[in-house]
Amino acid sequence: MIRDLRPSDIPRQLLPGRLAGSDLAFTRASIARPKHSFNLLELSRWSFPPTTAQHAFASVRKTDLNGVAVVRPRNGRRAWELAHLVCADGTMDDASDLLEYCAGWVSEQGCERLFLRVPHGHPIARAARRAGFMPAYAEDVHGLQRAWPPAAGEPTLHLRLATAADAHGIFRLYNSVVPASIRPLTGLTLEQWQDANEAPGGSVAEYVSEDVGRLRAWLRIAKKGQALTLDAVAHHDTAPLAAGLVADASRLAGGRLQPQWVVPTHQDAIGRVLRDQGWTPRQSYSVFVRMVAKPIKEPALVPVQA
């Protein structure tokens, strides 16, 4: 049985056969952390009454708690994500049912796309496929085991802070880089794409580089405590542009210990530049998307007068 997670489910974690395992769903804010803890405190926090910010579900069989899922909207109502997903070992069928239930529930909230990011190669990917999730793209998190020195010389791309007026230009840049097979999954219109944007957490700064009235690069730098995480989009993903982008990023954020850079597979020129400079891939993730059909209420039939 799948239903809302309740505070009364907490004692189930004190019984034999309690739900054990790692949290398998990664959001943009947690992508740089290789391990997700799951414990009684986490379960208690998720079992609070649902809000517009998140909703939690439980898969229950007799006295056992077989799975927990937490969904939340991304940047707008059209796009939601699995913020947390914990499944008992050997219960991938239950995981598929739980994911299917989540898709049905968010559909009723007006959602069009439900996102799920999981460790690359994990068996949960098969459960996601059975629940109708389609693979969109993969990501590698590159890290540097030392301080990141600022590049010498003058800036290459002359990055400036992005403004609200750059939204359409960033969307056009994104469409010029992302493969056509991915676009329908992540959002075809500006509004869909904006709703699907992820919040990286912490203090965030975005930069763009402009050339003859069109954007050719976008960079985001997120700082949270001592952690520094970056991601970027480079037009056509060419080696010179990628190298200039990484160099300019080091001038803006260099000097921090052990920075991390999230690189999707369709931006591998950035990944190659990072690896050439001593960065190493630390974690890999697969991003899945479930296209959710919004329910359409049929208008009541009324008699037509002649």
pLDDT at 90 over 70: no
CA 40 – CA 13 distance, rounded (Å): 7
pLDDT at 298 over 60: no
- Residues of the chain above pLDDT 90, percent: 63
pLDDT at 108 over 60: yes
Concatenating the DSSP letter of every residue in 15-81 gives STT---S------TTTTT-S-----HHHHHHHTSPP-SS-EEEEEEETTEEEEEEEEEEEEETTEEE
Higher pLDDT, 296 or 53: 53
pTM: 0.91
pLDDT band at 91 (very low <50, low <70, confident <90, very high): low
CA 113 – CA 186 distance, rounded (Å): 8
pLDDT digits (tens, 9 = 90+) for 188-208: 999 999 999 998 988 999 999
- Residues of the chain above pLDDT 70, percent: 92
Residue 33: what pLDDT?
67
Residue 302: what pLDDT?
45
CA 204 – CA 221 distance, rounded (Å): 6
CA 50 – CA 73 distance, rounded (Å): 13
pLDDT digits (tens, 9 = 90+) for 142-182: 999 888 999 988 888 999 999 999 999 999 999 999 999 99
pLDDT at 34 over 60: no
CA 114 – CA 132 distance, rounded (Å): 10
**Does residue 173 contact residue 233 with C-beta atoms inside 8 Å?**
yes
Concatenating the DSSP letter of every residue in 110-172 gives T-SEEEEEEETT-THHHHHHHTT-EEEEEEEEEE-SSB-PPPSSS-SS--EE--GGGHHHHHH
pLDDT at 273 over 60: yes
pLDDT at 132 over 90: yes
Residue 59, CB-side half-sphere exposure with 13 Å CA sphere = 22
